[in-house]
Structure 1
Amino acid sequence: MKNMKALMFRDVGKIELLEIPVPRVTSPDQVLMKVSMCGICGSDVKILQGKHAFKKDTVLGHEFNGVVVEVGSGVTTLKAGDRISIDNNPRCGLCEYCRTGLSSQCELIKENTIGIYKNGGYAEYCIAPENVCFKLPAEIDDVVATQVETLATVLNGMNTIQMQAWDSVLILGFGPIGYLFTALAKNIAAQVAITEIDPFRYKIAQSFGVPAFNPEKCDLEAEVIKMTSGKKFD
């Protein structure tokens, strides 16, 4: 196990399939995994387009899962053979942001983000610290597990806004994030509606069991007033 295939981001508009060395466990807290499946995030597309922060010569991919191959001497919660998903944003836990509950703003995130600044899941193997690795239950297959990170983003948003049973909620856009927000919101809020202008996504939204509007083809304000009896959305 010396080399592996990896999709390497070279520069804007340029990505190459290469053979590079398999990463090695060099720290007690590291976990080496064999990647099972990796999703394609909108951020990956924007990196290729030059519309997102990036680091040249990095393996992209941060929505992935895999099987543990090797662990460092200090790892206590994982072992070879465990199926895991990761949080691709390792935090330092020591800076002011981390210590005040704002770890998403950690001062070292830009150095540590897996799949953007450090090699990620568009490869056969990837390495990550133990504290961002989470065991997957058997009932979550590899395809669904690519959305664990996406769902975590949505759950964080839900926890932040504290949606209530009497709320009226309008979800703007029906991409993966909007889809998951809708799936959760329609089981909590009194009223939920979706807006989407992309024809493919709009068609899916129409079959989701809540009102869907294309703002380019309707008077959205009038529809909102009608749906909420003049109250509008919360």
Structure 2
Amino acid sequence: MKAISLIDTQRLGLINHEPVDELVAGHVEIAIVLSGICGTDLAVLTGREEGHIGVIRGHEAVGIIINVGKHVTSLQPGMRVVIDPNEYCANCEPCRSAKTHLCHGQHNNGLAIAGVNKDGTFAQRFITHERFVHALPDNISWETGVLIEPIACILNNIDQASLTSGERVLILGSGPMSLVAQLILRSVGVITLTTDSNTSRIAFGRSLGLDIIHPDELATRLSTSETIDAVIDTVGNQLETAALAVRRGGRIILFGFNGNYQYPLPVKHFLVNAISIIAAGEYNQHFPRALDIARRLPELGKLVTHRYSLEDYSHAFDELLNNPCTPAVKSVFTPNPHYL
């Protein structure tokens, strides 16, 4: 089968890869229909995050089951499904304590994540244990379904930050994850203000009724609007801006990944103003709730604006990495387009 792998540092390639011939008991084989390009994929290609060379990338995916192994009870061929890429071991102490996001891993090497430290879903087929596969209801489109994993990430951060109806949240950056967050927060009564320098994304967000401005306008808005209860940094290098914007007693939620970013923490400012910094980590069993959100917010599917074949991977990443005004919001690969 065809797949997109990290073949060298900051370099992808299209490879031929064959999964195991026989399914292990409890596992299923899935034909991938859509697999989303995530900000972490872009971070690896730009050197902001390390990547495991030789690993097939991709961790946001929906597909159709084409084969099941022995002892699989909850799934069958032909089912539409969404994949949870966080493959916790279920045996270590954190897993037994219902903290699967802190999984030690089978060999004590940490949580196994498809598309990050093991083969993922930028491929025609994918094999995983049935406990990491959820049925995708017929009333959830492929496009909305491919955002289930991002929804789970957002819900985790909402929970950890205790964001509630009526609060005002500043979101720095308006990429796909931010847009998912804005739509979810709006649905639960949270008021959002968001920044982005890409005029196309500003226009797209405003077309959905979201309040998105250029970063140059932020100071003026903050001086005339109500206080900001919490700030979400989806860019990964905006702690200074967040610290200046959030109210006393407010929260800053770290969300974007940038392994090269460092911030000299003004400890006294944070102490005197009782500002909390929240790092939620991986989501923990949020997929059932994410599916429920997807049912209630079908407009999330509108975020999928660009589709690419696996062979066109270079064009897809070039657009996202090198066009600062790209109209692309959420880009996905279509490894098996005949299923669409």
Partner of 2:229: 233
Is 2:67 aligned against 1:70?
yes
* Correspondence for 2:9 among 4, 7, 12: 12
Deviations 1:186-211 (A, max 9, x none): 23235321122233222223333243
Partner of 1:126: 126
Q: CA deviation at 1:20?
A: 2.2
Q: Distance in 2 between matches of 1:190 and 1:14?
A: 40
Q: Mean alpha-carbon deviation: is it higher for 36-45 or for 24-33?
A: 24-33
Alignment of 1:93-132 (within 5 A): 93-108=90-105, 110=110, 112-132=112-132
How far 1:49 sits from its partner (Å)?
2.9
1:14-33 to 2 correspondence within 5 Å?
14-33=11-30
CA displacement at 1:233 relative to structure 2: 3.1
After superposition, the Cα gap between the structure-2 partners of 1:222 and 1:99, relative to the gap in structure 1 and judged at 3 Å, is farther
Q: Is the 8 A contact 2:87 2:111 kept in 1?
A: no
Checking the alignment, whether the CA contact within 8 Å between 2:28 and 2:127 is kept in structure 1 is yes
Distance change (3 Å), C-alpha of 1:187 and 1:144: closer
SS in 1 for 2:139: coil
Task: Give the secondary-structure state (helix, strand or coil) at the position aligned to 1:233.
Answer: strand
Partner of 1:142: 142
TM-score norm. by structure 2 comes to 0.61
Report % sequence identity: 26
TM-aligned CA distance change 1:182 to 1:23, over 3 Å: same
- 2:184 match: 184
SS of the residue corresponding to residue 126 of structure 1 reads strand
CA drift at 1:152: 1.3
Do the aligned partners of 2:68 and 2:77 also contact (CA within 8 Å) in 1?
A: yes
Q: CA deviation at 1:146?
A: 1.6
- Letter paired with 1:66: G
Moved more, 198-207 or 117-126: 198-207
Per-residue displacement from partner, 1:33-90 (whole Å, max 9, x unpaired)? 1111111111112223333232211111111111111112121100111111111011
Contact 2:64 2:77 in 1 (8 A): yes
Task: Give, in whole Å, the separation in 2 of the partners of 1:140 and 1:20.
Answer: 30
Where in structure 2 are there 5+ consecutive unaligned residues?
A: 231-340
- Distance in 2, matches of 1:57 and 1:166, equals 47
> Residue 223 of structure 1: which of 221, 224, 227 is its match?
221
Which amino acid letter does the alignment assign opposite residue 99 of structure 1? R
- Tell me the secondary structure at the aligned position of residue 16 of structure 1: strand
Secondary structure, in 3 states, of the residue corresponding to 2:17?
strand
5+ unaligned residues in a row in structure 1: which ranges? none
**How many correspondences in the alignment?**
227
- Aligned partners of 1:23, 1:51: CA distance in 2, in Å? 33
3-state SS in 2 of match to 1:169:
strand
Are the counterparts in 2 of residues 163 and 189 from structure 1 also a CA contact under 8 Å?
no
Counterpart in 2 of 1:53?
Answer: 50
**Alpha-carbon distance change, 97 to 167 in structure 1, aligned in 2, over 3 angstroms:** same
* Structure in which a larger fraction of residues adopt helix: 2
Q: Secondary structure at the match of 1:128?
A: strand
Cα distance in 2 for residues equivalent to 1:121 and 1:208: 29
Amino acid at match of 1:151: I
SS at match of 1:52: coil
